[in-house]
Structure 1
């Protein structure tokens, strides 16, 4: 994966959080928990995975934009790219 150590750490943290949430969903289903609670937690897992994916995409795109720099404007920040992708989701 392309990116600096801080970005990679952020992606890994999001994926670890999603991993823990998914383990919680599995446990909730095994315990026979209420459907609403399971679906709510499953949605949280989905959002965590989406955010990790968008972070990866934003980092890769930022690297491409930084290398090109053809139009003379400053490249978008990683946060700006991530926000843009999340707005489209």
Structure 2
């Protein structure tokens, strides 16, 4: 505390800075993110994703039909490759949205939450690379 010319006491600047720092550090606790509201990163593209997954589902049903109709092996394998690529592309888009939203929201909060989200994303990337 410092004394003013009028004799009143006022908090020193150092104390004010400390108080402001404490407020700023605790401000992260006040950040409410989409993830806190139960909204996932892909919610804005949900309809697009469902449409894409239905298309992939159609490709898989086509594979079943091809096997049922005794189509030549190489033709089936070509279709398997196309279906696999479509799923991988979908997975990459979903991963990007996860990083942009869920991980970014956790970064705003900091602390253990960001560490957990980065670890979670790293494991997901590892699973995708093994496929």
| TM-score calculated relative to the size of structure 1 | 0.66
**Residue number in structure 2 paired with 1:37:** 75
Q: Structure 1: which 5+ residue stretches go unaligned?
A: 70-84
User: For residues 52 and 3 of structure 1, what CA distance do their matches in structure 2 show?
Assistant: 11
**Residue number in structure 2 paired with 1:65:** 104
**Residue number in structure 2 paired with 1:46:** 84
Q: Flag the structure with more relative contact order, 1 or 2, with Cα contacts below 8 A and sequence separation at least 6.
A: 1
Residue in structure 1 matching 2:66, options 28, 31, 48: 28
Cα distance, 1:67 vs structure 2 = 5.9
Cα distance, 1:39 vs structure 2 = 0.5
Give a deviation string over 1:3-39, Cα, whole Å, max 9, x none: 343x222222221111000000000001000111101
Paired residues of 1:17 and 1:48 also in contact (CA < 8 A): no
After superposition, the CA RMSD in angstroms is 2.2
Q: Tell me which structure has the larger Cα radius of gyration.
A: 2
Paired residues of 1:14 and 1:51 also in contact (CA < 8 A): no
Equivalent pairs counted in the alignment come to 71
Paired residues of 2:59 and 2:83 also in contact (CA < 8 A): yes
